[in-house]
Structure 1
């Protein structure tokens, strides 16, 4: 059995919400949210193309190699993730969508809203403005209120609150849970947030796990995490079906062992004796900056095309705001920090921050 596919622009989140509700109910086409309605890479889907009947959502991502991946998520996986999240956060409630729905974190805000039978509020496109966000937060009507952010957005809110914006401080305190994912959450930022009264949960997961499946280091719901040869593998009902049209990549990422199906995350890490997951970094040459994957090899190739940079190398350094940023080093010159947009684009809408004036590119 198969079902049709429906591509929707993520600039129409209310339409994505309704289409997802139909897909999760089994009667509607599988939803493919896109930043642009143009396909990444080779044109897809072709007219008349279908996916397996159980697939409700397809998340497109570049992956660590830059080759497009189309992650097929079943209704069961999405709803299992939503149920696990509700269990970890103390119940179901109303959400603000402040992330693009073509990212799994944004799509899951819509799925959780569908599961809770609540209407999400939409931040909209454009520069992330703490005051605008605070005004939207004041419109939430449910007893339980939630939002999912990337660390850069949280930092903008914390900065504004610390600078005396009382409405922003009230907004931070208004949420029963603020999920923060997409990259590691710096301890200092978390401490600043919690001093203001924010209830923070750092998340770990990916499109292949229907979004965050580890909260504050602990697997949620029926998720299982294990360490194999220094790498992390995840098992449980939240796993994707695989990659559409790419059986080799699917076989490399997903496998069965010990009676369970596992996803090889590509992350280095370990699981402590008390079950806490410790993520130590990517196994490949990729960093997460501002919630986006940045391919250092790609950045280096681009930099080396510039006059005088033929022997440049690009390294990653920690950054309090962006998580990590690429740095270019050339013999005889001082190392220069590159914008996180170099080699990989941050989303320009949906509350994603813009670079400050004077940022190097």
Structure 2
């Protein structure tokens, strides 16, 4: 009987320092050595919390590993609950995802890392480069994400022969578009720019494509080794099932995780399918994601999908970002409120104009009872709005 394998923390520095994990990542993909738990090297308290919960000194047990297909990475994710979970990703799942991505985009190429590599979207950039046999480069984020640093880091990537790729979250794309100059000119030279981590406002997507940027929206999560649906269409290895005309989304395929650390009976993984917790529907042959099931707002007995309201708001002039919440209300059960990041905080759009746009498109129930203007949205992970933090902020 083979010896149970250990799970070891892998401190991942930000920015260019993340490239230092490539040797360890290579060994993990080859099944040589322990499984790895990537943690943010700059967040000591957060790293200690994840290590205590997931890499607690006990080896991988039972279904957490397999000698013929070793678990390479355990990606920590808090999801929408805030409770750390360790997603068990076999080497085969990471490879299947990376290879399917290359097939969809136009073949193996050269990659620029622009987001944290302790999250699945970032570390998959490194995995894709390793499988492509190319040298990845990374943006210097020591002072945060800056368009000028992005342009500098992209220079050697774009100088190499072959396709050129990067991956961003919507906030990064928005900053590059707003800054213009070298950052925007550089971004236009990439053959594909994967965009994920959070829902992309339609207006931002149109704006990017009007500039000639090869944006590809992605849908996926740690449990699917990152994005597995590109521009609404599943990758060739991915299967998508929706329960009913509009209902919960389930995903399957070789890119799927084998489960959660310390949760052998996790109900999210059943019969080879992963229950995402998201709602969706088909628009022709494209998947439309309507948001998290547990984010759904029930106001006056009517179900309101926050993502649908956010899409309408971000299509309006003067709106950069929006996040919609349901808050307790004695009359309605829950009231719809909207946090809006305007393009100009000193001159935001009129709240009544925003409410009217929502009412005309989605009806009275979806119309925000309150619109709050913020300089920025609180975020978690690689660019997702932190709804719990936002609710506390608005309440205060």
| TM superposition shift of 1:347 | 6.2
- Residues in 1 aligned to 2:292 and 2:120: alpha-carbon distance in whole angstroms: 19
Q: CA deviation at 1:4?
A: 2.0
Structure that is richer in helix per residue: 2
Q: Deviations over 1:53-74 (max 9, x none)?
A: 4210111011222211110000
Partner of 1:100: 116
Ranked by relative contact order (alpha carbons within 8 Å, sequence separation 6 or more), the top structure is: 1
How far apart, in 2, do the equivalents of 1:211 and 1:160 lie?
28
Following superposition, the deviation at residue 40 of structure 1 comes to: 2.8
| Greater mean deviation of Cα atoms: 168-177 or 236-245 | 168-177
Distance in 2, matches of 1:19 and 1:41, equals 18
Q: 3-state DSSP class of the match of 1:242? A: coil
| Equivalent of 1:79 in 95, 115, 118 | 95
Matched, 1:243 2:254: no
What is the aligned counterpart of 2:5 among 3, 6, 10? 3
Where 1:73 maps in the other structure, the secondary structure is: strand
Structure 1 gap segments, 5+ residues each: 302-311, 322-332, 349-358
How far does the alpha carbon of each residue in 1:25-47 deviate from its partner, in whole angstroms, 9 at most, with x for none? 11132121112331338443123
Cα deviation per residue 1:137-189 (whole Å; 9 max; x = unaligned)? 1121332111000001001111122xxx1x22321122110000012222221
Residue 197 of structure 2 is matched in structure 1 by 182
Counterpart selection for 2:294 from 268, 271, 284: 284
Aligned partner of 2:225 in structure 1 is 210
Aligned position for 1:336:
372
2:270 aligns with 255
Residues 340, 346 of structure 1: 8 Å contact kept: no
Structure-to-structure mapping, 1:340-355, within 5 angstroms: 342=378, 345=380
Q: CA deviation at 1:190?
A: 1.6
1:56 aligned counterpart, secondary structure: strand
Give secondary structure in 2 for the equivalent of 1:105. helix
Task: Tell me the residue number matched to 2:32.
Answer: 27
- Count residues with an aligned counterpart: 314
SS of equivalent residue, structure 2 residue 250: strand
| 1:226 Cα deviation from its structure 2 partner | 1.2
- Report the alpha carbon displacement of residue 278 of structure 1 after superposing the two structures with TM: 1.1
**Are 2:7 and 2:34, in contact at CA under 8 Å, matched by a contact in 1?**
yes
- Where do residues 136-215 of structure 1 align in structure 2 (5 Å cutoff)? 136-140=153-157, 141-142=159-160, 143-161=162-180, 165=181, 167-215=182-230
The higher radius of gyration belongs to: 2
Q: Distance in 1 between matches of 2:232 and 2:34?
A: 35
Report the alpha carbon displacement of residue 16 of structure 1 after superposing the two structures with TM: 2.4
Structure 2 unaligned spans of 5+: 297-305, 311-322, 329-333, 344-368, 384-392
In 2, the alpha carbon distance for the partners of 1:295 and 1:196 equals 28
Partner of 1:132: 149
Q: Spell out structure 1 runs of 4+ moving beyond 6 A.
A: 286-289, 294-297
Is 1:264 the counterpart of 2:248 in the alignment? no
Q: When the two structures are superposed, what TM-score results if normalisation uses the length of structure 1?
A: 0.78
